[in-house]
Chain A
Amino acid sequence: ENSPAPLPERAIYGFALFLGSWFGFILYLIWAYVPETWLFSLGLTYWPQKYWAVALPAYLLVAIGIGYILLFGINMMSTAPLNSTHTITDNYAKKQQQKKFQEEAIPALRDIPISEVNRMFFLPEK
């Protein structure tokens, strides 16, 4: 049902988007370059100021640059500090149910407490 294969409907959507984006681009070029007097003589008086033809791309590029820094900062803020219990456990691990141990079966997946993991890694003498 949800395959990524090319379908006739998808081809039509793609072509419509292609024509639409070309139309939008040509319209933007006309708005930015054609002098105001020519547009007025054609009767098109209520178009936005040409200032925005330069301002909007500038805003967009600065927003993208700030977005990189913002994403980095949000990542750093969401990292749990060293003294938080989120480095050890979380809600799912606290509420997990212990399944009964069955012979000859692969043990069920569970979160092993950090004390046990430490003992296994660091205590036995080789």
Chain B
Amino acid sequence: MGERRYRSASGAPVALRRRQHSASCRELSVRCPRLQLRSLSAVTSAVWLAAYGLFVLSENSMVLSAAIFITLFGLIIYLHFVKVDQESLLVIGSLGIQVTSSYASGRESTTFIEMGQVKDVVINEAIHMQKVIYYLCILLQDPGDPQGVSEVVPLFQSSKPRLDCLIEVYKSCQEILEQRKTAPQSS
């Protein structure tokens, strides 16, 4: 299964890659656009121009060194904590769902939800920052109430793909989730 190009909610290009590891195990990864050189140089120039303006006003050369350090540390913190490179969803039929976010510095953050807690994977619409967006989310089962939903786990928060990409991911997930109804319950 190859890689298809889609758009995010803000218009940036994202790519969806689907891999089928076995009959009941699928991995879906959405790759976000890389950090653009032009936005990086725009931010750096703006910070350095502001620092130079402050230096001209205050005649203190520490402002310039401070601006260089701020730019460097700001970039490192941004790449390590904020900039997401790839978000992936690994659905294993009898076991659970694993959600991984890989950041631009190489850090990976993983969450695993076991299949007993998963009620369903749905596409929900909600208001987000003066827009209505579609987003994929995992509904967690309420242990007391078979019809109830205890928690909503939104997926693909940084890449925010549009509805066409979400429908592909939804169909893939539903094919695996349907197998748990036909398969006999073991616990």
Contacts from A to B (Cβ < 8 Å): 79-80, 82-85, 87-89, 94, 113-115, 118-119, 122-123
B149: Cβ under 8 A from any A Cβ: yes
Query: Distance in Å from the Cβ of B14 to the closest Cβ of chain A?
Result: 18
Q: Which of A79, A83, A122 contacts B151 (CB 8 A)?
A: A83
B38: Cβ under 8 A from any A Cβ: no
Q: Is the CB of A82 within 8 A of B135?
A: yes
Query: Distance in Å from the Cβ of B137 to the closest Cβ of chain A?
Result: 8
Stretch of B17-25, B106-114, B122-130 that contacts chain A = B122-130
Query: Distance in Å from the Cβ of B132 to the closest Cβ of chain A?
Result: 11
**Interface range for B:** 20 to 34
Total A-B contacts with CB atoms under 8 angstroms apart: 50
Q: Which residues of B sit under 8 angstroms from A80, Cβ to Cβ?
A: 126-127
Query: Distance in Å from the Cβ of B125 to the closest Cβ of chain A?
Result: 8
Contacts A83-B152, A84-B152, A88-B152 given: A114-B124 contact, CB under 8 Å? Answer: yes
User: 8 tightest A-B contacts by CB?
Assistant: A87-B126, A82-B154, A115-B120, A118-B122, A122-B167, A114-B122, A79-B127, A83-B152
Q: Is the CB of A87 within 8 A of B124?
A: yes
* Chain A residue nearest to B119 in the complex (CB): A115
Q: Which of A84, A89, A113, A118 contacts B123 (CB 8 A)?
A: A118
The majority secondary structure among interface residues of chain B is strand
Q: How would residues 134 to 163 of chain B score, 1 for a CB under 8 Å from any chain A CB and 0 otherwise?
A: 010101000000011111111001000000
Q: Please, how many angstroms separate the alpha-carbon atoms of A62 and B50 in the complex? A: 32
Q: Which of B135, B137, B147 contacts A113 (CB 8 A)?
A: B147
Q: Please, how many angstroms separate the alpha-carbon atoms of A122 and B126 in the complex? A: 17
Q: Which residues of A sit under 8 angstroms from B124, Cβ to Cβ?
A: 87-88, 114
Q: Is the CB of B152 within 8 A of A122?
A: no
Q: Please, how many angstroms separate the alpha-carbon atoms of A84 and B153 in the complex? A: 9
Q: Which residues of A sit under 8 angstroms from B128, Cβ to Cβ?
A: 82
For this complex, 18 residue pairs linking A to B, each with C-beta atoms less than 8 Å apart, are A79-B127, A83-B153, A85-B151, A87-B124, A87-B125, A87-B152, A88-B139, A88-B149, A88-B152, A114-B139, A115-B120, A115-B139, A118-B120, A118-B123, A119-B174, A122-B170, A122-B171, A123-B174
